[in-house]
Amino acid sequence: MGKTIGIDLGTTNSCAAVVENGQPVIIPNEKGNRTTPSIVAFTRSGEQLVGEAAQRQAAVNSDRTVSSIKRQMGTNWSKTIDGKRYTPQEISSMILRKLKKDAENYLGEPVNDAVITVPAYFNDVQRQATKDAGRIAGLNVKRIINEPTSAALAYGLNNGAAQKILVYDLGGGTFDVSIIEIGGDVIEVLATNGDNHLGGDDFDERIVTHLLGIIKKQSNVDVRKDISALQRLREAAEQCKKELSGLESARIYLPYLTMTKGEPVNFEYTLTRAEFNELTKDLVDRTEVPVRNALNDAGIAASELGKVILVGGSTRIPAVQAKVRALTGKTPERSINPDECVAQGAAMQGDLLSDGTLQLYNGGTGLLLLDVTPLSLSIETVGGVATRLVERNSTLPVHYSQVFTTAAPYQRSVDINVLQGERPMARDNKSIGRFRLNGIKGAPAGVPQIEVTFDIDVNGILKVSARDLDTGREQSITIDDNERMSDAQIEQAIRDAQQYAAQDGIRREAVEVNNEAGRLINEVQQKLQAQKKDISKEDRNFLRNDIASLQKAMSRNNPAKATQADLQEAKTALDNLKQSSTRILG
Ligand code: AMP
């Protein structure tokens, strides 16, 4: 069996790891970096760029560059480029495909299986979208696991003592806090909480807004109207934020940022850590309630925590670390790089699922990972009330059935609205699917018995089924969720990706063939000139003909749109010239 890799598909950066010789190791990408920017771009010549290559050109190609796609997972966001519409699943699949390829290069063997992590707070639709992205990328997603659980697994390996751990995970776009109990060979999530829309990007945005105000005051220009200037400002803001994690002040210098009245605007500013803390204080404070809620839900006091783990790049911010200390009374652990521990844990889970070589701290080879559902699940009942079927923090997998009945006499169908959230009224929760149960036997209100079953698998993915107990007949229910990709759409996306991969191969070869052809033509022309007197007119014409045919074939073999036939024709013309030049020129 091939190796199962662990993937942390992050908002800003992604990271892949694998277990080798019993230990998790980070897989470097083709540039030798340990994390890969989660950025995808489409060049005008039809190329797809992922990672550093996409990041480098983001400022000059911002309308064809997608970043932070994780924030859109499970929504109906889409982007149309050159007439093709891309879903968040497809964009994410491009990042996954690159991680898969880098892992294959590193391991020297095909990689088909993966464990992918998601924020604990991701709902069912977001988890399914992540799984679908894996499928489109050609990966068999063996398990979706929660990022904090994954981090705890990575830390648990270093320390086998039974204890309760708080994982504080502030990444690029999401915030997660989990209380996890590690003991023996069980890792059990006791509670999880968080904020789906809080992360490092928000800190960057605060700096950007601050700088925009200063530029407006200094030069009276609105940089928001200049997309590439805004992109440069964003990159500078993030860089400045990172520097402020280690320094008391950071300088931003952006020459020729934009133009106003025909004059260039140069921008220079020094931001202090104190200023930055002031701009972002409310963001740091927003992590407080989820931490308290998670502790409450787990039924423990902060003093009972064995350790606190920091995960995610944004936990490098000193004010964030100070907040964690203030909230928990503990100095957080950071012995594993916060950007890497999630991928490491995922690789360990992958290894356990594929009977690998992992050496566990308890000396055994088995480990039970008990994750929980992050939000309660309900259905809407009479009066718009959310009637709860599954409590949040229930250990996965969950199987729960409840019997419902009709509200009106001789009602032949019921509409069921499946809800996720903690609020008592249906309208205040997120509707994740609706279904209609038809064919109920006509009877007075309250007589029919309809058993509704919620099944949540180990990935946190929900399936709903229903049975009419009167007739004993299973009813089929379709969850009508327009944000979810259908199987047919996924198949189409897989075909598109494969077609792209094939086109990519042709493109690469077309470039190589044209380069070689150019070199050969040059060489032949030089030799023809040098050996003019020794070559017969007939041979000269022969060579000139072959050169002309090759030049024609090269122009058809345009890497942006070459077909297999164009490529073949160029290869044949190249071979012809090779042969004739060897025969005639030696
Ligand atoms: P992640 O999603 O875990 O990769 O976290 C990425 C986020 O961490 C981005 O918003 C980065 O800007 C942020 N980040 C990375 N390094 C630092 C740093 N040294 N100081 C502050 N934030 C950082």
DSSP code of residue 197? T
Ligand 1 mean position to 280 CA, how many Å?
14
Q: Is 8 touching ligand 1 by the criterion CB < 6 Å?
A: no
- Going by C-beta distance under 8 Å and a sequence separation of 6 or more, which residues neighbour residue 486? none
* 92 and 106 co-located in one domain: yes
Give the torsion through C-alpha atoms of 24, 30, 36, 41, to 10 deg: -150
Residue 397, preceding peptide bond in cis (omega within 30° of 0): yes
Which residues does the chain have with pLDDT short of 50? 158, 478-482
Nearest-angstrom CA–CA distance, 567 and 227: 38
Ligand 1 mean position to 384 CA, how many Å?
42
pLDDT for residue 460: 78
Last residue of a domain, one of 434, 462, 485: 485
Nearest-angstrom CA–CA distance, 459 and 157: 22
Ligand 1 mean position to 350 CA, how many Å?
25
* 426 and 448 co-located in one domain: yes
CATH number at 218 reads 3.90.640.10
The residue nearest atom 1 of ligand 1, judged by CA position, is 171
What are the DSSP E strand ranges found in 140-277?
140-146, 163-170, 175-183, 186-195, 249-260, 263-272
Range of 351's domain?
Answer: 4-198+286-370
Q: Return the active site residues.
A: 8, 70, 147, 169
* 560 and 419 co-located in one domain: no
pLDDT tens, residue by residue, 159-206: 556 789 999 999 888 898 999 988 766 778 889 898 878 999 999 999
DSSP code of residue 166? E
pLDDT for residue 480: 41
Beta partners for residue 416, in sequence order? 435
* 63 and 183 co-located in one domain: yes
Ligand 1 mean position to 205 CA, how many Å?
13
Last residue of a domain, one of 347, 370, 393: 370
Please state the atom number of ligand 1 nearest to the C-alpha of residue 312.
3
Ligand 1 mean position to 246 CA, how many Å?
13
The residue nearest atom 21 of ligand 1, judged by CA position, is 242
Nearest-angstrom CA–CA distance, 50 and 26: 19
Number of CB atoms found within 10 A of residue 197's CB: 13
Q: Is 12 touching ligand 1 by the criterion CB < 6 Å?
A: yes
- Positive or negative CA dihedral for 228, 234, 240, 242? negative
The residue nearest atom 18 of ligand 1, judged by CA position, is 242
Ligand 1 mean position to 579 CA, how many Å?
57
CATH number at 528 reads 1.20.1270
396 and 371 Cβ atoms separated by less than 8 Å: yes
Q: Is 241 touching ligand 1 by the criterion CB < 6 Å?
A: yes
Q: Is 37 touching ligand 1 by the criterion CB < 6 Å?
A: no
* 454 and 523 co-located in one domain: no
CATH number at 85 reads 3.30.420.40
CA distances from 546 to 96, 246, 503, 538 (A): 44, 63, 28, 13
Nearest-angstrom CA–CA distance, 396 and 254: 51
* 186 and 229 co-located in one domain: no
* 129 and 274 co-located in one domain: no
* 517 and 450 co-located in one domain: no
pLDDT for residue 231: 87
34 and 12 Cβ atoms separated by less than 8 Å: no
Q: Is 71 touching ligand 1 by the criterion CB < 6 Å?
A: no
Residue by residue, DSSP assigns 503-528 as: HHHHHHHHHHHHHHHHHHHHHHHHHH
pLDDT for residue 184: 67
Please state the atom number of ligand 1 nearest to the C-alpha of residue 14.
4
* 399 and 465 co-located in one domain: yes
Q: Is 280 touching ligand 1 by the criterion CB < 6 Å?
A: no
Q: Which of 73, 243, 279, 314 to mutate to test the pocket of ligand 1 (most atoms within 8 A of CB)?
A: 314
Number of domains comprising the chain: 4
Number of H helices, E strands in the chain: 13, 26
In terms of Cβ atoms closer than 10 Å to its own Cβ (0-12, 13-18, 19+), residue 261 is exposed
Last residue of a domain, one of 458, 485, 512: 485
pLDDT tens, residue by residue, 6-21: 999 998 899 999 999 8
Q: Which of 7, 11, 12, 15 to mutate to test the pocket of ligand 1 (most atoms within 8 A of CB)?
A: 12
Strand 48-50 with 36-37, pairing: unpaired
pLDDT for residue 159: 52
Query: How is residue 182 written in tokens?
Result: 């590690």
The residue nearest atom 16 of ligand 1, judged by CA position, is 313
pLDDT tens, residue by residue, 520-536: 999 999 888 888 888 88
* 317 and 329 co-located in one domain: yes
* 214 and 188 co-located in one domain: no
pLDDT for residue 293: 93
* 193 and 209 co-located in one domain: no
